[in-house]
Structure 1
Amino acid sequence: MERYARLFLVLLCTIFVQVAVAQVLDGDEQNSLDDFQSMQGAPERFEVFFGSVNRYNTNSAYDWLDTVKVYLSNAEKTKDTFAVRLYKVMQAQLYNDLGEFDKSTALAKELHSELDSLDSDSRKIVLNVLDNNYANLQLFDKQIEIRKQKREMGITENVAFYDIYSNLGLYRKARNQYIMEVKPTIADNDSYGLAKYHGKVGNYLRLDNSAPTALSELKKAKAYLDVYLNDISKPKSEQQLFESDLLKAEIEGNIAKCHVMLGEYEEAIPLLENSIEVLDNSPKNIHQNEVVENTLYLADANLQLENFRAAKQKLDIEFDNITVLHSIKRNSLLAEFYDKVENYRNAATYYKRNERIKDSLAQKQSALIKQQLVTIVANEDLENSQRLIDEQKRINELARSEMKAKDERINLVFISLIFTLLGFAGLVYAYLKSIKNQRLIAEQKHIIENALIEKDSLLKEIHHRVKNNLQMVSSLLSLQTKNTRSKSAIEALEEGKSRVKAMALIHQKLYQNDDLSVIEMQGYIESLINSVQSVYKKGGHNINITIDAEGTELDIDRAIPFGLILNELVSNSFKYAFPENDDDGKIYIHLRKNGDQGYFEYTDNGVGLPEDTDHHTHSSMGIRLINRLVNQLQSKLNIDKNVDGVRFWFNFS
């Protein structure tokens, strides 16, 4: 009886501790944003933000983003550079968590350029964010550079390639590399490490369509995780418990997907539902793809069991940033659903969607994989070469030590002779090794140069085709104009044609340039004005136009809005600024960009704007379009009414 009483007391204590921990966790999750706002300085807020176990449990990432933006704005106003950097680190992490990888990368690259001025925690976060962003953007060469920098800073021990091979669909190669690199680093008594290891190996086997073998590995991973969680001799922090729950949800989700692949649908459904519920509350964006994939497998299992309503509910869920492969799987399941309910028209629609997606993917994927593999293999070979050199150095040092101990017992004459021979052999070895390394470097350089040439050719071809397609759109608009009698419709079609030509001219300039990343704006503006003049044949030919944009270059994201803005402004001047006589007409265009700051100004000496300018600003299609384009450049349009004619200007970055 005494023994049972002790067991009962231990059980009660365990339940009490778990309830207390759960309450502490719930209180922390519910008040994490409030705690963040109650802190007095940026360092304290930084610690709360990255120290919160699950910061999105109560408040969404968008709520956090709005709050951080307010503090960032205040820090910029007070010119507190240290606080500005900390808030930008948080902002980069938030964009990454939201799946807005382009925005996150832009911020992280800005911080990366000031890496020496950041503290060690901020450096680690910035490099990890860039690592994750480049993986999601499939920029694996840049991802490898970041990982090398992490190794140099002591954040990671070596440069891993297995996850990159997995992203490229080479699951068997990824699994072999993962086993070779990770297995030797895990201790036999490290239950949590063994759970992660077998879970990863099992997932690679599942992705390689080896469901039975994968199921065995995944069950082994779950068993190790249960051992870790049930070991009360080792206290666990909140963070460790939270990460264990996430790992368990990942493993159970992968076990369930194996059951679906094996046709065991009823066993899969509860595991998938539990996995989705846990992973959906994770603050890490890396679990979003798993939530989407588990949801699709859950829909598949319900569909096979003819639970049509449950299957359709899962397929109707709208996810942000869904991948192409997930879109294909979702379309396939929707087509199968409509087939089963005998709605063949809808089924055909989703089959056709998949065919279009697969055709587009087939054209792009081979070139992408070829380019990325060249970079990865080159880097991997360099890494392996360095490891062999280091190992050879270690072996040589050991040999020299042994030889020195033996040589002390040999005659001086023999010692001199041996050292002479060793010196000569070392020179020959170094010479041969140098020739081999030079040949290897030359071969790798040749591979990389060929890859870059192929990339430039593909980009030029893409810009050429886009320009041809836009010219076809312009021709269609011209054809429509000839078949239209309404004057207002003809004017609208001509304006649309002019805008299409402005965009087509951007792509023409790009594929004609040696540098495909920027456009020289002086020549572009001159060509654009000639194009506009060809549309307005009765006006604009006597106007004196001055263009001051020499030496200014813009990337395509800025050049297209600028081209459309100029198209609208010049067209408006030709149509309205000189209604009676344009002999004394003047137009001045000024565009400059120094570093991160730019300035644009457009003036003419025409009749100016009417008195009801504010009304026209909101009703005119052209002015509304200009305002939206300026907003796209993250700026605000200014209209000066205090000069003769009209003046438009704005700053941009």
Structure 2
Amino acid sequence: MHIKSIHIIPLFFFLNLALFAQLNPEDSIKYANFKKEKLYKNKAVYFLSIRKKTAIKTEQQWILYFKNELKKYKKNTEDVTYINYILAKLYSDSEQYKESNKIANYLLENKQDFYSESLTCDLLYLLGNNYEKEADIQNLLEIIKQKTKYCNVEMYQFYRLYSKMGLPKRALKSYRVYINSLDQTKQTKYNWAQHTNNIGFYFQKDNQIDSAFYYYNKALDLILDYKKEAPYKKNSKREKEVLFWVGLIKGNIGDCYKKYGNYKKAITFLNEEQKSAKIFYKGSSSKWYGEKYYWEQVADCYLKLKNYKLAKIYIDSLFIYNDRLKYYNLKKQYYKGLKVTDSVNLYTELYNKINDSVITNKKLDLNKTLINFLDLEFSIIEKLHEIKAIKSENINTKKQLHLYVALFSLAIVTVLILVYFFYQKKKQTKIISSQKNIIESNLEEKNILLKELQHRVKNNLQTIKSLLTMRLKSIKSEKAKETIQHSINRIAVLSKIHHKLYDNNNNLNTIHLDEYINEIVLDLKTFYDQNKNVEFKLNIQENIFIHIDQTVTIGLIINELVTNSYKYAFINKDKNNIIAIFFTRNNDKLFFKYTDNGVGFDVNKKTKSMGIYLIKRLINQLGSDAKFASSSNGMEVSFDFIDKSSY
């Protein structure tokens, strides 16, 4: 007995060593913390973050383990809740969606006081993923509605559901909206390869094979370029992901070759996808969800090539999946090729029985589901636009911060000037009554100046208020947030004019440039021509539409340039004063030129002023550099830039 115990202890020790040898160092630490931790609220965090759980136990063994844990912790409600949450995740990972949904719905229906927002949202996300994989659109819509109440509003990927509902055109439109919602500056060639592939997928779903083939090949070029340029390590996770996507795109190209009737080439490309998927999912607890589709497509190709021996191997591989409709259809085609009539009739009958039921159910639910779906998508997009109005996409933090500081400083100086004039007016009215006529004359002049200054201030303050409001949500420092909020409140008192740019109801992304510039010029001409007669010559190419962000910047640049001309260039009122604005497009590039026939200025000296500095910074924001030229006959400013809406 003593001898046996000596051998048992080393055996247990080596079994543990073997177990940890199968785990990567990060998973080993998480598993050790999971075993050490006593509260299941914390144990759940460690366990669910282990990437290769099946290296320790199989999925079913883990399920049995946690069922036993339920019995052990049955007196502690909080521990039982988190154990059930883990079970719901495990059932979902093993594609036992009904069991997973049953537990998750029970937990949501019996919410406890200790439930955090994070746990509630995690359960909703779990149910949403399950319903999506089951193609249960009605229940999924309800989950999305609940997520908008309890979780952060996000751009839900509606295009995937439109695709499942058999609406590829609407899916493609929704997907383009999703792409536009992303931060374009953070999209790499890897990301664009994925986006381009997905666009091809929706064209394929719409049976536009030529368009799909074009986008798939474009996606392949992008991913291969990224593969050459990307600085990832060999055999790293990123390399496996890239190789997986290379295979996936090739598989999609294989689908197109199948549609074209080139079945041999289709099989070659489909096998490339299967090969890359095997490498990517090797040693992972996750599964390749495209495997069933791969068997179907290759089986169909071999049937078309009349290679029934190989076709049967792939068809039989489909039996393990719970998709009898496609399995029966391929069996029917297989026996039809072999001319076995009885088997053809049998599988035709089985196929029609299931197919009729599926079609009937889909017809009954589709209209109601689509109406609810469109209403939900509209409400979420509406909320996203509200959020977007107060949150800035951080394209170039450093440049934008400098611009904010410059604009804010200009606003403070302007406000101080206004306060000074008001103070002087009040002081002079009270103290120097004997000089009333002189004071009233001076005040009249000052009031004219105040009106001019106030008009400029309101435009600038509205822009500053919007910019600062958008930045407010992304600032973490409470002290900084308080400072900016005070500034916003003070500026809001002075700002009374609604920015005309946002009156455009037709399109939230682009503005008609010709109409926009004419409107700005008309307002400025109406305002400034009280003192000087200036002729505007506008040469704006028709039908130019540019991105709303760039439109705001163009408006600010024109406002600054015209103001500068009126204030400093046209000293002689009797002279035929002219301002010319030229704007044209050449493909994606836009060219802008501004000239006046005023007195000009010293370029080297004047470019250091705040106004010219601000103009240069605004032009820099468009991704360009300003070209200044000046003489006694006037001045010229020109630059070109890429239209952001063409990306």
Q: TM-score, normalised by structure 2?
A: 0.51
Q: Which residue of 2 aligns with 1:296?
A: 296
Write the distance in 1 (CA, Å) between the matches of 2:275 and 2:119.
31
Residues in 2 aligned to 1:318 and 1:54: alpha-carbon distance in whole angstroms: 26
Superposed counterparts of 1:466-615, under 5 Å: none
Structure 1: stretches of 5+ with no match in the other structure: 1-23, 395-400, 427-432, 434-653
Given that residues 276 and 294 in structure 1 are in contact (C-alpha distance below 8 angstroms), is that contact kept between their aligned partners in structure 2?
A: yes
CA deviation after TM superposition for structure 1 residue 211, in Å = 2.5
Match of 2:162 among 165, 172, 175: 165
1:222 maps to which residue?
220
Aligned partner of 2:177 among 170, 177, 180: 180
Q: Which amino acid aligns with 2:89?
A: Q
Compared with structure 1, are the counterparts of its residues 148 and 363 closer, same or farther at alpha carbon in structure 2 (3 Å cutoff)?
closer
Distance 1:171 1:411 in 2: 61
Shift of 1:48: 5.0
The answer (yes or no) to whether the contact 2:318–2:327 under 8 Å persists in 1 is no
- Where in structure 2 are the equivalents of 1:133-152 lying within 5 Å? 133-147=130-144, 150=147
How much has 1:264 moved relative to structure 2?
2.2
Q: 1:74-473 maps to which residues of 2 (within 5 A)?
A: 74-76=72-74, 79-113=75-109, 114=111, 117-118=114-115, 122-123=119-120, 125-147=122-144, 150=147, 157-183=154-180, 184-187=182-185, 190-231=188-229, 233-234=231-232, 240-241=238-239, 243-276=241-274, 279=277, 281=281, 287-288=288-289, 290-319=290-319, 322-323=322-323, 327-386=324-383
1:69 Cα deviation after fit: 2.3
Amino acid at match of 1:297: Q
**Contact between 1:151 and 1:159, CA under 8 Å: does it hold in 2?**
no
CA spacing shift, 1:258–1:322, aligned 2, 3 Å:
farther
**DSSP-derived class of the 2:339 partner:** coil
Q: Aligned-pair distance for 1:135?
A: 1.8
Secondary structure in 1 matching 2:36: coil
Question: Cα distance 1:129–1:245, how it changes in 2: closer, same or farther (>3 A)?
Answer: farther
Counterparts in 2 of 1:73 and 1:35: CA distance versus 1, 3 Å? farther
Once the two structures are superposed, residues 341-391 of structure 1 have per-residue CA deviations (whole angstroms, 9 ceiling, x without a partner) of 121221122222222223222321111111211211222333455566778
Shift of the alpha carbon at 1:151?
A: 5.6
**CA deviation after TM superposition for structure 1 residue 169, in Å:** 0.8
Rounded to whole Å, the distance in 1 between the matches of 2:267 and 2:21 is 28
Residue 61 of structure 2, aligned match among 46, 63, 68:
63
Q: 1:159 to 1:124 in 2, by over 3 A?
A: same
Contact 1:171 1:204 in 2 (8 A): yes
- What amino acid is the match of 2:334? F
Deviation at 1:104, TM superposition (A): 0.9
Against the structure 1 CA distance between its residues 83 and 256, is the aligned structure 2 distance closer, same or farther, given a 3 Å change threshold? Answer: farther
Counterpart residue type for residue 375 of structure 1: N
Alpha carbons of 1:32 and 1:380: their partners in 2 closer, same or farther (altered >3 Å)? Answer: closer
Gaps of 5+ in 2: 1-18, 392-407, 419-445, 459-494, 499-504, 506-647
Letter in 2 for 1:310: L
Q: Is the 8 A contact 1:53 1:239 kept in 2?
A: no
Q: Determine what percentage of the aligned residue pairs are the same residue.
A: 19
Contact 2:247–2:277 (CA under 8 A) maintained in structure 1: yes
Describe the superposition over 1:466-517 as per-residue Cα deviations: whole angstroms up to 9, x where unpaired. Answer: xxxxxxxxxxxxxxxxxxxxxxxxxxxxxxxxxxxxxxxxxxxxxxxxxxxx
Partners in 1 of 2:239 and 2:78 — Cα distance?
Answer: 33
Work out whether residues 256 and 269 of structure 1, in 8 Å CA contact, stay in contact via their aligned partners in 2: yes
TM superposition score normalised by structure 1 = 0.50
Matching residue of 2:533: none
Deviation at 1:64, TM superposition (A): 2.7
Letter in 2 for 1:361: V
CA contact (8 A) 2:23 2:55 kept: no
CA distance in 2, matches of 1:26, 1:209: 49
Kept in 1: contact 2:299–2:312 (CA 8 A): yes
Q: Does the Cα contact within 8 Å between 1:195 and 1:222 map onto a contact in 2?
A: yes
The Cα shift of 1:297 comes to 0.3
Residue equivalent to 2:23: 28
How far apart are the structure 2 equivalents of 1:333 and 1:138?
A: 22
**TM superposition shift of 1:167:** 1.3
**CA-CA distance at 1:230 after TM superposition:** 4.2
Query: Could you tell me how far apart the structure 2 residues matched to 1:347 and 1:58 are?
Result: 46
3-state SS, counterpart of residue 333 of structure 2: helix
- Residue type of the alignment partner of 1:111: L
Deviation string for 1:409-436 (max 9, x for gaps)?
8679999xx99xxx9999xxxxxx9xxx
Between the two proteins, the alignment pairs up a number of residues equal to 392
Partner of 1:630: none
CA spacing shift, 1:213–1:61, aligned 2, 3 Å: farther
Change (3 A) 1:27 1:212: farther
The CA deviation string for residues 586-637 of structure 1, in whole angstroms up to 9 with x for no partner, is xxxxxxxxxxxxxxxxxxxxxxxxxxxxxxxxxxxxxxxxxxxxxxxxxxxx
Highest CA radius of gyration, 1 or 2? 2
Contact 1:131 1:147 in 2 (8 A): yes
Q: Does the residue aligned with 1:187 lie in a helix, a strand or coil?
A: helix
Deviation (angstroms), 1:149: 5.1
Measured against aligned partners, the alpha-carbon deviations of 1:312-365 in whole angstroms (never above 9, x if no partner) come to 011112555634xxx333322222211211212211222222222232223211
Change (3 A) 1:73 1:221: farther
Q: Which whole-Å CA distance do the structure 2 matches of 1:207 and 1:375 have between them?
A: 23
CA contact (8 A) 1:186 1:193 kept: no
Distance of aligned partners of 1:94 and 1:392 in 2 relative to their CA distance in 1, 3 Å threshold? closer
Letter in 1 for 2:208: S
Q: Closer, same or farther in 2 for the Cα pair 1:32/1:68, shift >3 Å?
A: farther
Conserved? CA contact 1:61–1:94, under 8 Å: yes
CA distance in 2, matches of 1:231, 1:66: 47
Classify 1:230/1:154 alpha carbon distance in 2 versus 1 (closer, same or farther; 3 Å): farther
Q: Check conservation: 1:29, 1:55, Cα contact below 8 A.
A: no
